[in-house]
Structure 1
Amino acid sequence: MWLIFIKSFINDYFNVKWNLNDESTHWKLDILENFATAFVFVIVVVNVFITAFGVQRPNSGASAPS
């Protein structure tokens, strides 16, 4: 619930601050878009590495098979 509120607040803030139809602000918006894309890409890559290599500790309480 809070994430939706925060996302809508940020979205409204940028829509009011910069007119999306004004061509002189497009370079700022392009930079923000590239930053957001890179941020999501880094999160995805980190999640892939965590999933692939795992961060689980082996079960030390189990006995070894004989």
Structure 2
Amino acid sequence: MHLNLIGWAAIAVLCLAGAGVGYAGCRLGGAPVAPGIVGGALAVLAGLVIVDRRRWARLTSTPSGRSEG
């Protein structure tokens, strides 16, 4: 994966948001917060990987060196 600085920053912000949601959910539910923080961040990463894999699966490729048409 080739991301620029803005792409990596976006991933970091999304992971922090997921960790915050996990933290809040555990605090409201009375559960230990550490697993919620890690779980929230990992859920965001898993979601990003799934979306990326689906996007790459839709791409079509042609053998290199051949021109179409």
TM-score (norm 2): 0.43
TM-score (norm 1): 0.44
* Structure with the greater alpha carbon radius of gyration: 1
Q: Which has the higher contact order (CA 8 A, sep 6+)?
A: 2
